[in-house]
Structure 1
Amino acid sequence: GIHIGWDNFLTTLPHPDGLTPFFNGNWNIYAQNPDSIEHIFGSNEGSGTAILTFLGGFSPQSQSLWLTDIAHHHLAIAVIFIVAGHMYRTNFGIGHNMKEILDAHRPPGGRLGLGHKGLFDTITDSLHMQLGLALASLGVVTSLTAQHMYALSPYAYMSKDFTTQAALYTHHQYIAGFLMVGAFAHGAIFFVRDYDPEANKDNVLARMLEHKEAIISHLSWVSLFLGFHTLGLYVHNDTVVAFGQPEKQILVEPVFAQFIQAASGKAIYSFDTLLSSQNSPASLASSQIWLPGWLEAINNDKNDLFLTIGPGDFLVHHAIALGLHTTTLILVKGALDARGSKLMPDKKDFGYSFPCDGPGRGGTCD
Structure 2
Amino acid sequence: MTSTTPAAPGPRTLRMALIGYSFMGSIHAQAWTTAPRFFELDVEPVLAAVCGRDKEGAQRFANKFGIGRVETDWRTLVEDPDIDAVDICVPGNLHAEIAIAALQAGKHVLCEKPLANTLAEAEKMVLAAEEAKANGALAMVGFSYRRTPALAYARELVRDGRLGTIRHIRASYLQDWIVDEEFPLVWRLEKDQAGSGALGDIGAHILDLAQYVTGHRIAGISALTQTFVKTRPLPGSSSGLKAQGDAAAGRGAVTVDDAAVIIGRTAEGALATFEATRFAAGRKNAIRLEVNGSLGSVAFDFEDLNELWFHDHTEPAESSGFRRILVTEPQHPYAGAWWPAGHGLGYDHAFVHQAADFARCIAEGEQPEPSFEDGLQIQRLLDAAENSAANNAQWQAVSAGA
Give TM class, smaller chain: under 0.3
Q: TM-score, normalization: structure 1?
A: 0.22
Structure number with the bigger relative contact order (C-alpha 8 A, sep ≥ 6) is 2
Larger helix proportion, structure 1 or 2? Answer: 1
Larger Rg: 1
